[in-house]
Amino acid sequence: MVTPAQQSPDSEMTWRRKLSDVLDMFAFPLRTSHYVELVNPLWSTHQMQAQVVDVWDETKDARTITLRPGVNWRLNRPGQHVRIGIPIEGRHYTRTYTISSPPERNDDCFTITVKIIDGGRVSKHIVRNIKVGDYLPIGLPQGDFYLPDASPIQPLFITAGSGITPAMSMIRSLVAQERLPDTVHIHYAPHEFDVIFSKELRQLAADKEQYHLHEVHTQEFGEEKQTRGYFSQEQLDKLCPDWKERDCYACGPPGLLAALEGVWEQAGHSRRLHIERFLADFAEIPKDAVGGKVRFAQSNLDVDADSETNLLRIAEDAGMNPPHGCRMGICHTCNTKLLSGCVRDLRTGEVLNESGAMVQTCVCAAAGDCELDL
């Protein structure tokens, strides 16, 4: 027998579904949500929106944007990221950013913290031009870089630059839950005024004896070049002697992450190292790799592609607008069926050639001729 408690979520879902189907008949061929959106964009259900409610400069080139998400938002697990649509000069871009706030925030808002990437059009636009009151389309929190719920662990956070964002969400969440364990945090930044969340981190280090913060400044004022303080095993042994007993959560530029992987692998502790990347780390492309003719079956387009340019870019350059999100192989919005031929996953170098396989077009390139269901 089914108890009412078990039954209700399901029947409520179908009941709501049926109601919205009937309501949509009034709005055909649109949906009721398209009209609800006119009253308040945050109430729309066909495309979740978020309103910018605050902006705050963390450093000279990094800004925290506070967003109030619309209905149907799902709380993030600390460390997860979210897809955000940004219009720039009339064109729509989609990027993925880590949520820097903990789910325990009590104002139903969340924050992202964005640092300007050199030559990055979207990051620059977010940091400089997004205004309070703007509405941005968003996705739901995603990603598997988060702390386990149950097992008590002693974390070691190694972060650099804006790589601090997922760690910040985790630390804030642990503090909010009043269950911050003994924690070591090594953070790399050019110099002391370039530390995102510096005030909060330093305050935390002063207040909580179980939180050990080590800021490493890779640059002195007045110096032209970055000269000191890069990650090394000696430095790690010095700052955190018991690192082998800890679970390490790391986020930062590819160079740092590669060094970490080397150290942990040598120590035989790879399983305790958890990494979040900003950019997909690409495998070396073999010298004999060739591109080929890409066929987009649904669009009935044939395009030539080389062996390094991702297929998403190839499609966009051909004038198509296939679905996509993070552009770094994590969100799977761009998943597309491979109908025939062969593609290479640029991250692993692995070659996919089974027809019917799912291809992440943003991180795969042609390896000979191929046909995609786009």
Name the residues that contact another protein, by CB under 8 A.
Answer: 25-30, 34-35, 38, 47, 85, 87, 89-93, 137, 319, 321, 323
Smallest gap from residue 35 Cβ to another protein (A): 5
CB closer to another protein, 86 vs 365: 86
Q: CB-wise, 69 or 166, nearer to another protein?
A: 69
CB 342 within 8 A of CB 367: yes
Which C-beta is closer to another protein: that of 136 or that of 196? 136
- Distance in angstroms (rounded) separating the CA atoms of residues 246 and 184: 9
Minimum gap (Å) between residue 367 Cβ and another protein: 27
Q: Are strands 81-88 and 91-98 parallel, antiparallel or unpaired?
A: antiparallel
Q: Cβ 250 to another protein, closest distance in Å?
A: 33
Cβ proximity to another protein: between 27 and 279 the closer is 27
Q: State the first-to-last Cα distance of the chain, in angstroms, to the nearest integer.
A: 46
Instruction: Please identify, using beta-carbon distances, which residue of 34 and 244 lies nearer to another protein.
Output: 34
312 neighbors 327 (Cβ within 8 angstroms): yes
Give the residue from 239, 192, 244, 241 showing the smallest Cα distance to 219.
192
Which residue, 91 or 225, is less far from another protein as judged by CB? 91
* Distance, CA of 2 to CA of 39 (rounded, Å): 40
Q: How far is the CB of 239 from another protein (least distance, A)?
A: 45
Spatial distance between the Cα atoms of 220 and 215, rounded to a whole number of angstroms:
13
Q: What is the smallest separation between the CB atom of 359 and another protein, expressed in angstroms?
A: 20
* Minimal distance, residue 28 CB to another protein, in Å: 4
What is the nearest approach in angstroms of another protein to the Cβ of residue 94?
9
Least distance in angstroms from the C-beta of 74 to another protein = 20
Specify the residue, 83 or 115, whose C-beta has the smaller distance to another protein: 83
Q: What is the dihedral of CA 103, 104, 107, 108, to 10 degrees?
A: 30
Nearer Cβ to another protein (87/255): 87
